[in-house]
A and B are shown apart, each in its own frame.
Chain A
């Protein structure tokens, strides 16, 4: 379902206004403030996401409910492939500068530092939500987990923005 009016209002603001939404509990304040066009139940595992591909209309506001069915911490980040690659490189450097620190907790406290990209970190066994409005000026973005190695092993997918 496409809501043209909402899209016009939220289109460009989405990445900044909603970047932090969904951290922590399943009920984010975004739920109350805006209407959700669609909800996607996502599963993150070791090392995969299902579903692996999405089609979302420009301006559509969607809610991702991501359940971590794996044994390891994962993140869910939405952004262009170049931004994702940059974020990945940064996280890899952080991991190796820590002298091969074995813990996966290189980004502390559930707050995912993914630059300007909307993102959420999901501990094993938990569910997190992220509300996101598809922009009008981009045709395709990626969703990804950029914890070192996870993207390469298969934790990535495409969102086609068309409608």
Chain B
């Protein structure tokens, strides 16, 4: 059943990669016919090869393997890193045998799949892990379709390329049509060992941030905003032990951003015939990097989010959080090359590829945007917020109604204050636009539970996020995501569970409700089959992609009964948003921030459904 790519001669691998995979024709050139076929007749290409289900064998090995043309030692899966595309079909009983050829335990988590708890692949939660030399057989019925991915859930292995795409072909017709598809897996590779990166982060959070504001910036600000405002802003950031340019913890100063394992110089190319509709399955399989994806000259129509179909949304750009997936359709009519451009959110680099009618073509690389300043968005300064009010400590305390009981976390306290400021802003923004939201706000203040599907006060679901200007081009926002039909469970939430995302940037401590995973005494309890509302409040100044295993999160974005469901939710700094969960999956499940080093630092919980 398995058609793995095992180049017989290691010396050939580089040529093979350069000659074939780089052209987006890997599978075909190597004579590996994808064993799947869709009624719509698309062809596919993924340079790392395809393993088709229902039975797949995977060997995990640390091996010498070139990355970005340099010698590297990633973790490979069946000889490639990132790993091969695993292709399953809805309705199959999948058997995935994973053999560990590392000298340490490993695991694979099938990200976004609804499956039995002992098949979820999280060591210490789902199972014991896979010891060196051992083989573990994952067996589960495939009950969904769409674009997903898989990755190690052991330590920091994911950072070493221990990840790959997981595509499930639908049993029934999908709500869109296309002629050809391409998978775009985005990752962030470092030639430093992950443990070294983590140590550097612990030593000083700004270690990889070479974009700190300088004295020159300060004087430029003074010129623009006047001395008092500038000094006030600076003092404020200093008190939060943060820099306003902390967009990302780990940046392009150590990362090479890859598209399907190819560096920008290697220019991975996907082929199309003019006039054909292309389905691009975009997966953010990076450890720490948000990307802003666009294809200059083409409108992208978003047709699925996190593997689940959504009502189509034409956009020019979208932000993809770590672990999220989006499916978009594009229809290039011209006989020309287009650039697949995935710029890192902190603007320190990009992953890039080319969509072209023939091999060897390239289009212009878009001009890089300047790094955004958190001061604008996160502090709400453009809304005329009174900055001087932040000067006094008691004021901050007074304004933080939602803060967890963690007096040592300066960071959390400051941001709680900010988050209430944001709520106020959104409130104004909602006028005349979302009346449900307005009444909801009142209900919230009165202590009631909002109707299902309603946007939480403090959510910024109609904002694309820092560094993206919706006036410049049309950018996808969470508000745009609407299911095509309602999800099965229509019950209103029986209760609310509020969790705060907390952190101390300087000490690189990340947590829920101010407690690292090592400090909590037990799991979060969901009653079997209950319907609950999970409210997530981001008390930090960074985005966090929050992932719940085993169950969908139905994002309450105001779409009523057509709210979308996701496995990973991006929560912006200071934002408060909610999701409905049907706790139908008995067992223990991981719940965590998908920023790899945040998870490892303690932003992780176990959810127990019983």
Contacts of B479 in A (CB 8 A): 100, 102
Contacts of A154 in B (CB 8 A): 176-178, 277
Q: Are A149 and B485 in contact (CB under 8 A)?
A: no
Size range of the chain B interface in the assembly: 20 to 34
Contact with B along A121-163 (1 / 0, CB 8 A): 0000000000000000000000000001110111000000000
**Closest partner residue, chain A, to B482 (CB atom):** A102
Contacts of B173 in A (CB 8 A): 48
Q: Are A153 and B175 in contact (CB under 8 A)?
A: yes
Contacts of A148 in B (CB 8 A): 312-314
Q: Are A72 and B484 in contact (CB under 8 A)?
A: yes
Q: For the complex, what is the distance from the CA of A140 to the CA of B484, rounded to whole Å?
A: 31
Contact with B along A60-97 (1 / 0, CB 8 A): 00000000001110000000000000000000100010
**Closest partner residue, chain B, to A52 (CB atom):** B177
Q: Are B462 and A152 in contact (CB under 8 A)?
A: no
Q: For the complex, what is the distance from the CA of A152 to the CA of B485, rounded to whole Å?
A: 19
Q: Are A47 and B329 in contact (CB under 8 A)?
A: no
B246 to chain A, nearest CB (A): 29
A113 interface residue (CB < 8 Å to B): no
Q: For the complex, what is the distance from the CA of A81 to the CA of B248, rounded to whole Å?
A: 45
Contact with A along B269-292 (1 / 0, CB 8 A): 000000001000000000000000
Contact flag A48-B177 (CB < 8 Å), given A100-B477, A152-B314: yes
A109 interface residue (CB < 8 Å to B): no
A55 interface residue (CB < 8 Å to B): no
* Given A96-B474, A153-B175; 5 other pairs, CB 8 A cutoff: A92-B314, A101-B433, A149-B302, A152-B301, A154-B277
B480 interface residue (CB < 8 Å to A): yes
Interface of A is mostly: loop
Question: Which residue in B176, B299, B462 is a CB contact (below 8 Å) of A153?
Answer: B176
Q: For the complex, what is the distance from the CA of A5 to the CA of B462, rounded to whole Å?
A: 57
Interface residues, chain A, with chain B CB atoms under 8 Å away: 45-48, 70-72, 92, 96, 98-102, 148-150, 152-154
Contacts of A72 in B (CB 8 A): 311, 484
Listed from nearest, the 6 A-B pairs whose CB atoms lie closest are: A149-B312, A154-B177, A152-B301, A153-B176, A153-B312, A71-B485
Contacts of B313 in A (CB 8 A): 148-149
Question: Which residue in A46, A92, A98, A100 is a CB contact (below 8 Å) of B484?
Answer: A46
Q: For the complex, what is the distance from the CA of A45 to the CA of B484, rounded to whole Å?
A: 11
In residues 159-180 of chain B, which contact A (Cβ within 8 Å)?
A: 173, 175-178
B240 to chain A, nearest CB (A): 31
B560 interface residue (CB < 8 Å to A): yes
Q: For the complex, what is the distance from the CA of A99 to the CA of B433, rounded to whole Å?
A: 7
B434 to chain A, nearest CB (A): 8
In this complex, the member of B178, B311, B479, B562 whose beta carbon has the largest number of chain A beta carbons within 10 angstroms is B311
Question: Which residue in B312, B462, B482, B485 is a CB contact (below 8 Å) of A150?
Answer: B312
Q: For the complex, what is the distance from the CA of A13 to the CA of B600, rounded to whole Å?
A: 71
In residues 539-561 of chain B, which contact A (Cβ within 8 Å)?
A: 558-560
Q: Are A71 and B484 in contact (CB under 8 A)?
A: yes
Interface residues, chain B, with chain A CB atoms under 8 Å away: 173, 175-178, 277, 299, 301-303, 311-314, 329, 331, 433, 462, 474, 477, 479-480, 482, 484-485, 558-560, 562
Q: For the complex, what is the distance from the CA of A101 to the CA of B436, rounded to whole Å?
A: 12
Contacts of A153 in B (CB 8 A): 175-177, 301, 303, 312, 329
Question: Which residue in B329, B474, B482 is a CB contact (below 8 Å) of A152?
Answer: B329
Q: Are B462 and A102 in contact (CB under 8 A)?
A: no
Give me 30 A-to-B residue pairs in the complex whose CB atoms sit less than 8 angstroms apart, sorted by A's number.
A45-B175, A46-B175, A46-B485, A47-B175, A47-B176, A48-B173, A70-B484, A71-B485, A72-B484, A92-B314, A98-B433, A99-B433, A100-B477, A100-B479, A102-B558, A102-B562, A148-B313, A148-B314, A149-B301, A149-B302, A149-B311, A149-B313, A152-B277, A152-B299, A152-B312, A152-B314, A152-B331, A153-B175, A153-B312, A154-B177
Q: For the complex, what is the distance from the CA of A48 to the CA of B484, rounded to whole Å?
A: 13
Contacts of B312 in A (CB 8 A): 47, 148-150, 152-153
Q: For the complex, what is the distance from the CA of A155 to the CA of B436, rounded to whole Å?
A: 31
Question: Which residue in A98, A102, A149, A152 is a CB contact (below 8 Å) of B560?
Answer: A102
Contacts of A149 in B (CB 8 A): 301-303, 311-314
**Closest partner residue, chain B, to A103 (CB atom):** B560
Q: For the complex, what is the distance from the CA of A100 to the CA of B482, rounded to whole Å?
A: 11
Contacts of A100 in B (CB 8 A): 462, 477, 479-480
**Closest partner residue, chain A, to B40 (CB atom):** A154
Contacts of B480 in A (CB 8 A): 100
Contacts of B559 in A (CB 8 A): 102
**Closest partner residue, chain A, to B483 (CB atom):** A71
A69 to chain B, nearest CB (A): 12
Contacts of B484 in A (CB 8 A): 46, 70-72
Q: Are A99 and B462 in contact (CB under 8 A)?
A: yes
Q: For the complex, what is the distance from the CA of A99 to the CA of B463, rounded to whole Å?
A: 11
**Closest partner residue, chain A, to B478 (CB atom):** A100
